[in-house]
Chain A
């Protein structure tokens, strides 16, 4: 069964500092990988996704993530955060093997709460 582990439940950081939110996945098949952001009292919004190709993926709001197959990781980074980046971030993985048991659905990590302090 596929699993996604977000290594930090909470990450406090000061404004304009860099940040990395860590995500590891476990799968016996190739995967699609995603990062979503959830602002307070809102639904989840897609930040970025890796489907294939370049291992460095750029998303909205200046975020990027790097797919590392050997380390089964998909860490999210931003070189300089803003107060408005305060939110909960979810890493997710889905099987890309059409017809496979995990095809179509995503497995989500437990979330990382990013708090940006002034």
Chain B
């Protein structure tokens, strides 16, 4: 079975540009998560969805960040405008509640804002 698929794997962009990260969760999973990982702050939960509905977005750092899940097989995390401090690895993950909430991670999107 395909795992969680993220794109792009690597992105380098200039400050002020819009960045869109994409995620395809594992088919049948009803939870989707966006995490950010940095050396300084470790692994942070930004937002998560249940059945395409945002449940908790308290981890979203500021209004420049937004996330959508238009259907069960696709989600985006958008940063507009991007800043150098947004440089991080962004992980998408998904889970199926009835399997004990085991979360499966994608390979990550490595973002560098210069």
Q: Which residues in A have some Cβ–Cβ distance to B below 8 Å?
A: 32, 34, 36, 42-46, 49, 51, 90, 92, 94, 96, 98, 103-106, 108, 110-111
Contacts and interface: CB of A to CB of B under 8 A. Distances in A.
A45 B56 CA distance: 24
Contacts of B95: 104
Contact of B33 (A45, A51, A105): A105
Contacts of B102: 34, 46, 49
Contacts of B108: 42-43
Main secondary structure on B side of the interface with A: strand
Given A46-B103, A94-B101, A111-B43, 12 more contacts: A32-B101, A43-B108, A44-B105, A90-B43, A104-B31, A104-B55, A104-B95, A105-B33, A105-B45, A105-B101, A108-B43, A111-B42
A111 to B, nearest CB: 6
B106 A105 contact: no
Given A98-B97, A111-B42, A111-B43, A106 B103 contact: yes
What band does the interface of chain B fall in when counting residues whose beta carbon is under 8 Å from A?
20 to 34
B100 interface: yes
Contact of A49 (B33, B50, B100): B100
Interface in B44-101: 45, 48, 50, 55-56, 91, 93, 95, 97, 100-101
A63 to B, nearest CB: 16
B101 to A, nearest CB: 5
A42 B48 contact: no
Contact of B50 (A32, A34, A104, A111): A104
B100 A96 contact: yes
Contact of B42 (A46, A51, A106, A110): A110
Contacts of A96: 100-101
Contacts of A111: 42-43
Nearest to B95: A104
Nearest to A108: B43
Contacts of B48: 104-105
